[in-house]
Amino acid sequence: MEDNNLNKENKDNKKGIGRRDVLKSLATLPVAGALLYGAFKKKQLEHYKHSELLKTLSLDTGPVEAPSIVEKRNGDTSTLRVGIIGTGGRGLYLMRSLGFIQPLWIDEWTESARINKQDTRIEMYRQMEDLNVAITGISDVFTVHRDAGLEASSNLYRAGTNGKRGEPAKVYKHYKDLLASDDIDAVVIATPDHWHADMIIDAAKAGKHIYAEKPLSLTVEETYAIERAVKENNVVFQLGHQNRQIESHLKAREVVKKNILGKITMVETFTNRNSPWGAWVYDIHPETTPQNVDWKQFLGSAPDHPFSAERFFRWRCWWDYSTGLTGDLFTHEYDVINQVLDVGIPDTASASGGIYYWKDGREVPDVLHVSYEFQKLDMNLLYSATLANSQHRKKTFFGHDAYMELDNDLVVYADRDSTRFKTAIEDGVIPTHSPMITHVPGRGSIDAISSPTEQYFAQRGLLYTYRGGQQVDTAHLHVKEWINAIRHGSPVSCGIKESVEEAITAHMGTVSYRNQKKVFWDRDKKEIVFG
Amino acid sequence: MNKPNYARPQLILLVALRVAIGWHLMYEGVVKIFQPAWSSYGYLMDSKGWFSGLFQNMAANPDLLSVVDFLNVWGLTLIGFAMITGLFSRVAKIGAMVMLLFYFVAHPPLMMADYIFPGEGSYLWVNKNLIELLAVAVLFVFPTGHIIGIDRLIYNYRKK
């Protein structure tokens, strides 16, 4: 039998091109046809499911695009003269976002990019838009920080240590002298929290526009004094919650507006850190001495205390200068929730926690839970924080029909017991074990997803591709928005209204923790009261 | 080169193996054609092992990445089509082996390698890319395109 076959093949080979040849030549061609047919049918099915999903979610009525993050306008192009009050770590970061970088950073990023092709920081920085700003004044109580700020202020060309320099800013020993200067239009305030209120109020009275670091204030009284000063003096005010510029947060707002989550009754938000830096145990600069720190100016209205390098650098650990977790880290979380849901000030807050891990003499807690009630919204917000574990937890919004996880990416899962999606879930149009909507950075719009690959990426929050999207420093966008508002009167996203809401909400948590009592917000008297 | 002759079961299984591998490669290509947003970026960036730097450099350069993506999508589709139909099967199999070799060295199943992209099985040093590569190598030394495939027409036309 085998011999016969071999003979047949031999005969075939010898015959030249005949009918048998053609048949055998094209025998497997239909397989390719079958593949294309199958692929097409599968694509059609996916397309059908996708469009059904869009219809069910009402996303088919037009693209769900968030408004342009920062308006681009022509017009006033005169140089804005900015003064920096506080040129420590955060102040230098904001100077960088304004286009003034310490030359050392350029050297470091250039070298890092040479070794690691994935490091695009130097490329990003070089591409960052020129905001047409001049740093004309700086003030800091620590001479080392002051010199660093001075060096950055002269780096007009974003050059490395051997590069060209321009005119450095003028140094002011006291911030009040900086505010009194005529060649300053606006100020960036990046000082410890206990200084925010005085500096913002003084700057507003001096007619300077203000970009202030969060949190807004230490107390309720300070908060309303700031609000009055900003409003009465008609200056542009922006609080440094740069989360306002994160694309996924803007998309999350759209998802909520489309009522895709249904009635939202609970939101959870978190802080997890697990390092000395994360717990505010910052390095003490080795050159620090009582001589090169203006300790009296640092203390300001805070209770008197002998010079302490530890307090100077790690001020977030003490109530005199900070409100710890609520002021420093919860405010970030809250402002995102407020950005997405417009929750405003809550009605009640109850907190519990303590110093469980960092028993280093600090006063502020390192583990904290605060539960906030928003009675008009029928909603509870839980803030859960630890400085002794680094497991990342995403902000989660729980609705009757779906829940949304929000981070730099956004993922929405349908609820298996949803009323609105009941039929779509039963028909297999909406999945419950994988996301139904996602937005990942670098992609233009939110989208309903159906293919397994996309679901895989979405579930893990992985970037689909970097090619379409451009990475931008969010702090740069935030200061740019402030500068645009000064120049063109366009709105800021974290103005005085949002700042007051941030501050009061944080203070309710702080007061509840410090008094170990549930607290209430008296909306008429604008006071925190105990039941 | 003398073309080998096979017993019928040998021929059927070799052709079936060729068509199946061709199907796999072509469908991978066609799926990517249907997904315009597809990019090899994540896969290349997730590269581990001896050549990871090379693959990450490919991903980091947008122009090069476009070329890599284009070659991937159309390479897979055309090589798969050629293997299914037995057209230019010698060249197609060399192409398939080169592509599979790239996939293997980009994501070698090393003891310490931990990939974001999950494997659907458990592998150490040998994975399905390597096995598929070896299967194509077997097909390369046991060709069938000249018997069942469009190459038969070319082969016989040349002989005539």
Check residue A504 and give its pLDDT.
98
Residue A49: per-residue pLDDT: 82
Q: Please check the confidence at residue A351 and state whether its pLDDT lies above 80.
A: yes
Across the strands, what pairs with A138? A84, A171
Shared domain for A271 and A128, answered yes or no, is no
Q: Which residues of B touch A117 (CB under 8 A)?
A: 53, 56-57, 60
The pLDDT-based confidence of A71 (bands split at 50, 70, 90) is: very low
- The pLDDT score that the predictor gives to residue A428 is 85
Predicted local confidence at residue A273, as pLDDT: 92
Note whether residue B40 is domain-resident: yes
Instruction: With beta carbons under 8 A apart, name residues in chain B contacting A39.
Output: 27, 30-31, 34
Number of domains forming the structure of chain B: 1
Q: Does residue A15 sit within a domain?
A: no
Q: What is the mean pLDDT of residues A103-117?
A: 90
**Assign residue B74 a region: left if phi > 0, alpha if psi is -120 to 50, beta otherwise?**
alpha
Q: Are A465 and B116 in contact (CB < 8 Å)?
A: no
In chain A, the residue whose alpha carbon lies closest to the alpha carbon of B62 is: A467
Q: Give the domain CATH number at A100.
A: 3.40.50.720
CB contact under 8 A, A462 and B160: no
Mean pLDDT score across all residues of chain A: 88
Asked whether residue A343 falls in the same domain as residue A433, the answer is yes
A227 and A237 housed in the same domain: yes
What pLDDT is stored for residue A270 in this prediction? 95
The pLDDT of residue A13 is above 60? no
Q: Which of B27, B65, B86 sits opposite A35 (nearest CB)?
A: B27
pLDDT, residue A75, reads 52
For residue A70, tell me if it sits in a domain: no
Q: What is the pLDDT of residue A14?
A: 52
**A155 inside domain:** yes
Of A208, A224, A244, the position where a domain reaches its end is A244
Q: What is the pLDDT of residue A480?
A: 93
Closest-CA residue of B relative to A22 is B153
Cα separation, B139 vs B82, whole angstroms: 13
**Sequence-ordered list of residues with C-beta below 8 angstroms from that of A520, at least 6 positions apart, any chain:** A347, A348, A528, A529, A530, A531
Q: Is the pLDDT of residue A1 over 80?
A: no
Residues A232 and A257 in one domain: no
| Cα–Cα distance, A415 to A426 (Å, whole number) | 12
Q: Given this model, what pLDDT does residue A107 score?
A: 96
Residue B112 within a domain: yes
Q: Which tokens in the block code for residue A315?
A: 């001020």
- Which chain A residue has its CA at the smallest distance from B15's CA? A28
pLDDT averaged over chain B? 90
Contact across the interface for B148 and A27, Cβ inside 8 Å: yes
Residues A505 and A345 sit within 8 Å (Cβ to Cβ): yes
What lies within 8 Å, CB to CB, of A503 at 6+ separation is A215, A216, A217, A220, A222, A223, A331
Which pLDDT belongs to residue B147? 94
Same domain, A157 and A176: yes
Percent share of chain A, pLDDT over 90: 72
Spatial contact of A411 and A437, defined as CB atoms under 8 Å apart: yes
The H helix count followed by the E strand count for chain A is 19, 17
Decide if A9 and B31 are in contact by the 8 Å CB cutoff. Answer: no
| A253 shares a domain with A185 | no
Model-wide pTM > 0.90: no
Indicate if A402 and A432 belong to the same structural domain: yes
Asked if A414 and A317 sit in the same domain, the reply is yes
Task: Kindly report each contact of residues B10-16 with a partner whose C-beta sits within 8 Å and lies 24 or more positions away, as own/partner.
Answer: B11/A9, B11/B144, B11/B147, B11/B148, B14/B139, B14/B142, B14/B144, B15/A28, B15/B86, B15/B144, B15/B147, B15/B148, B15/B149
Q: Which residues of A touch B39 (CB under 8 A)?
A: 464-465, 467
Quote the tokens at residue B1. Answer: 């080169």
Give the pLDDT confidence score for residue A464 in this predicted structure: 33
Residue A175, classed as helix, strand or coil, is helix
- Give the minimum alpha-carbon distance from B98 to chain A in angstroms, rounded to a whole number: 22
Nearest chain A alpha carbon to B87 = A25
Query: How high is the pLDDT of residue B39?
Result: 80
H/E stretch holding A133 reads strand A133-139
The more confidently predicted of residues A428 and A131 is A131
Confirm whether B93 is domain-assigned: yes
> Comparing C-alpha atoms, which of A464, A410, A399 is closest to residue A254?
A410
pLDDT of A73 above 50: no
Confidence check on the interface: ipTM exceeds 0.90, yes or no = yes
Give the model's pLDDT for residue A447.
52
Average pLDDT estimate for A390-409: 93
Say whether residue A522 is in contact with chain B using an 8 A CB cutoff: no
Per-residue model confidence as pLDDT tens digits over A276-310: 999 999 999 999 999 999 999 999 999 999 999 99
Domain count, chain A: 2
Nearest chain B Cα distance for residue A2, angstroms = 6
Q: What pLDDT shows up at residue A69?
A: 44
Read off the pLDDT band of A442 (50, 70, 90): low
Query: Is A9 part of any domain?
Result: no
Given A17, A35, A453, which is nearest B160 (Cβ)?
Answer: A17
What domain range is B90 assigned to?
8-159
pLDDT at A320 over 60: yes
What is the structure's pLDDT at A247?
Answer: 77
Q: Which amino acid is at A324?
A: G
Q: Which of A210, A244, A278 is the last residue of a domain?
A: A244
The answer to whether residue A13 is domain-embedded is no
> What strands, in cross-sheet order, belong to the sheet with A410-414?
A447-448, A437-439, A410-414, A402-406, A395-399, A264-272, A379-386, A367-374, A348-354, A519-522, A527-529
Q: Give the residue ranges of DSSP H helices in B35-159.
A: 41-45, 52-60, 62-85, 89-106, 128-141, 151-159
Burial environment of residue A423 by CB neighbours within 10 A (0 to 12, 13 to 18, 19 or more): exposed
Give the count of beta carbons closer than 10 Å to the beta carbon of residue A259: 15
Average pLDDT value for residue range A400-428? 92
Task: Report yes or no on A340 lying in a domain.
Answer: yes
pLDDT class of B41 with cuts at 50, 70, 90: confident
Give the residue with greater pLDDT, A66 vs A235. Answer: A235
Percent of chain A with pLDDT over 70: 87
A57-60: long-range contacts at Cβ-Cβ below 8 A with a sequence spacing of 24 or more?
A57/A258, A57/A260, A57/A436, A57/A437, A57/A448, A58/A258, A58/A260, A59/A258, A59/A437, A59/A446, A59/A447, A59/A448
Choosing from A244, A267, A288, the residue where a domain stops is A244
Q: Do A43 and B34 touch (CB under 8 A)?
A: yes
Cα–Cα distance, B123 to B141 (Å, whole number): 27
Does residue A61 lie in a domain region? no
- Based on the fold, state whether residues A189 and A173 are members of the same structural domain: yes
Mean pLDDT of A123-130: 87
Confidence of residue A248 (pLDDT cuts 50, 70, 90): confident
In this prediction, residue A227 has a pLDDT band, given cuts at 50, 70 and 90, of very high
Residue with the bigger pLDDT between B5 and B146: it is B146
What are A109's two structure tokens?
């990023």
Q: Mark yes or no for CB contact B152/A5 under 8 Å.
A: no
Asked, for residue A20, whether it belongs to a domain, the answer is: no
Domain that holds residue A518: 246-474+507-529
pLDDT at A470 over 80: no
CATH number at residue A519: 3.30.360.10
